[in-house]
Structure 1
């Protein structure tokens, strides 16, 4: 039976690897999802077949409770809330790892070797800091708490002090082997606190990177749990999760021209007052969708820039309808995809794929930016921070240095937005005041619907 279980574990690990491989391409992403799900199902079944597993009634109760929470989250939660759901998944997974480590300590503290105590300390620290960090990320994404960074004097010193205290607690418990329940509980409390301190000062524009790095922490915590439980599959699966999250974070920081320390401890997205358009001679031009539809009559090349405004309005299907209408008029339509558009990596890709937008129409930032000067009309659907020219032109802006879509270089810009409020990073967008920009105020879905009707009637 043990040989069979190990063989199934190997099959599960292979499926996890194939899952990551297949999910790297849109054409095979469905296979990637199925492979990951099948690998997890096999792993659970194989684990339940272990002869040292007891208390199946409690396991069944746990499965029922988990399924009753997870199923509605998967079925009922809209695509716009995928980032929040991802943050909650990280929180639940990290909490599970932390609780397993806690149980192991209180049951076997005196029997654990020095290497096991090292692994357990790291697992508990990563698990619990990821739990509170992910919950805080969920709160910011859901806008339950302020999306802008919460800053206070000396915050880096406070964070590093809490981190150092966690290290000291872990070191004492490791080298003074024995049962230290109060110290262990203190480690849990300060790990939870460190997770809060880690995410609290991070601004909205950096939130996608925060989600990916929290994913890495959760994976590493699971991997260390595998070492503690001598479970090879957990080691492999956790290492895959942790390394992929880390690689993604590095790639995103590179795409945003930011370092890890800037993302984790910087002041990105300071609270800045919204600039009144009537001040300093700034003028905002606004038209109705019917009036703006005239701009497409002479257009040959159109680029659509999707952002969180499209996601919030669930307007991806109307965007696809608009694309079809424009292509029927022999207009070349492309989509400009910024690596951190939306609230999580690949957010726009997922939404547009749901609307059956062909993948070859989605063009990454490096490839689409040289095409903007020859683009007749750019239609921005609620993408604020990733189109802000201040990132290139204003050294005093918190966005300065972040690569953006060069929308301002197009011949004409239509910007769909509910109001003149700032984006998720809390920064006013200079693009609103460009003489080439026309604002279309209103719900993105309704504005796009009106545009489709008006263009069709021409």
Structure 2
């Protein structure tokens, strides 16, 4: 039986890795998810076959509750709310690891007679899992707008409080590892780690949320791997390390895409406010408005159109009508491409997922580094709900909070049309200098309705 279980684990690991490879592109992502899910199913079966497994009624109850809650939630969630669900489900994973560490503490009488590595790994998992759970819940609250997207800080006390809570968690872990077996010590550790998760994520603004989600995901993976080491469970170790490693790499890539360091983000990010569309002196600045008919005419006589999607497109669920518009343009012999910024939307790959859902050809999705050199040859750049990722202030204003962040250089296009509901700011809470550019026209209204009107005008031409 031991050999059989080991073989099942090896098969599941192979499926995890193969499934992860499928997630590198929209065309293979669904298949990759299914492959990884099959691998997880095999790993669960192998774990249930472990000698000494008992409490089958509780296990069956837990599985049933998970299915009843998870499946309907995943099926009903809108694509715009997917970042919130990712944050929430990731937090549940971290919370589960923290609870397992607590159970391990209780069943071993405070790790009495356990090797030192078991206690250390379990306590590490408890701290990181609790941080991930509570931090993910705060991220969920911000994304769901249950909590203000603005950075919520303690001012000058923020970093001292963070350090104090971290020290408290570590001290409690050391006391437990050196023989402390009072359950209040473990409860205190979990509470301290939970408070740390809350106070670290609250000061982070909306603009940094994609990086935060990725970072918390990596932490959950690392905590699972540590718990697997404590329990001598190979599945947890391998799966946790895969999640931890991939999440860490993605976090680093996302931070680089924003030209920011991960410590700077954790120390308190920018963004989340609502600024008035005015100059620093308080003077209202003029913008040029346009109409759906003028936009359609302008694009119909273009050679190349680049669509720049952002969170506004996601909120309006406009991806399908955008695809319809692109087909009409392509039928007229116009080249259409989509410019994808790494942190557009509220989670890594948000725009890619939305456009793939609308059957946009993968080869038309251009990453920032690839498309930026093409804007100079672009006749019309159609910006749909994107804000901070197109703001020229990131390159021209050293005093801007987003200065140095790589952007999509839509201002290099011959003409720019921005679709927005209003002149409100993006997550960074600052004016977008692109709106006041002489080449920019603003088409105000709901993105889906505005693009729908453009589609009707294109059909009439």
Identify the TM-score tier after normalising by the shorter chain: over 0.9
**Does residue 376 in structure 1 map to residue 379 in structure 2?**
yes
Shift in Å at residue 275 of structure 1?
A: 2.7
**Superposition map of 1:338-349 within 5 A:** 338-349=341-352
Structure 1's 6 and 67: CA in aligned 2 closer, same or farther, altered over 3 A? same
Q: CA deviation at 1:29?
A: 2.0
TM-superposed CA distance for 1:279, in Å, is: 5.1
Q: After the TM superposition, which of the residue ranges 198-207 and 19-28 deviates more from structure 2?
A: 19-28
> Which structure 2 residues correspond to residues 48-197 of structure 1 after superposition, within 5 A?
48-108=48-108, 109=110, 110-154=112-156, 155-175=158-178, 177-197=179-199
- Report the secondary structure of 1:285's partner residue: coil
**Aligned-pair CA distance for 1:152:** 2.8
CA-CA distance at 1:162 after TM superposition = 1.1
Deviations, residues 16-75 of structure 1 (Å, cap 9, x unaligned): 111112212333223211111000111111111223111111111111111111011111
- CA deviation after TM superposition for structure 1 residue 451, in Å: 0.3
Runs of 4+ in 1 over 3 A off after TM superposition: 270-273, 276-281
State the SS of the aligned residue for 2:306.
strand
SS at match of 2:96: helix
2:39 aligned with 1:39: yes
Candidates 239, 243, 253, aligned match of 2:255:
253
CA distance in 1, matches of 2:277, 2:299: 30
- Partner residue, 2:214: 212
Structure 2 unaligned regions, length at least 5: none
Shift of residue 271 of structure 1? 4.2
Deviations 1:410-433 (A, max 9, x none): 111111111111112222211111
> In the TM superposition, what is the alpha-carbon distance from 1:267 to its structure 2 partner?
3.8
Aligned counterparts, 1:319-398, within 5 A: 319-398=322-401
In the aligned structure 2, how far is the partner of 1:327 from the partner of 1:279? 43
Aligned partners of 1:63, 1:301: CA distance in 2, in Å? 52
- Confirm or deny: 8 A CA contact 2:23 2:32 kept in the other structure: yes
Contact 1:151 1:267 in 2 (8 A): no
2:457 corresponds to which residue? 454
In structure 1, list runs of 5 or more residues that go unmatched: none
SS, match of residue 54 in structure 1 = coil
Q: Is the Cα–Cα contact under 8 Å of residues 269 and 399 in structure 1 kept in the other structure?
A: no
TM-score normalised over the length of structure 2 = 0.96
TM-align CA RMSD: 1.4
Q: What SS does structure 2 have at the residue aligned with 1:378? A: strand
Q: Secondary structure at the match of 1:126?
A: helix
Partners of 2:338 and 2:366 within 8 A in 1: yes
1:401 matched to 2:404: yes
Q: Does the CA-based 8 Å contact 1:270-1:398 persist in structure 2? A: no
2:276 partner SS: coil
| Alpha carbons 1:212, 1:245 under 8 Å: kept | yes
Taking structure 1 as the reference length, what is the TM-score of the superposition?
0.97
1:456 deviates by: 1.2
Distance 2:312 2:300 in 1: 25
Q: Would you say how many aligned residue pairs link Structure 1 and Structure 2?
A: 457
Mean alpha-carbon deviation: is it higher for 200-209 or for 147-156? Answer: 147-156
CA spacing shift, 1:418–1:241, aligned 2, 3 Å: same
Alignment partners' CA distance in 2, 1:69 and 1:267: 33
- In structure 2, the CA distance between the partners of 1:163 and 1:247, relative to structure 1 (3 Å rule), is same
1: CA distance, partners of 2:373 / 2:166? 44
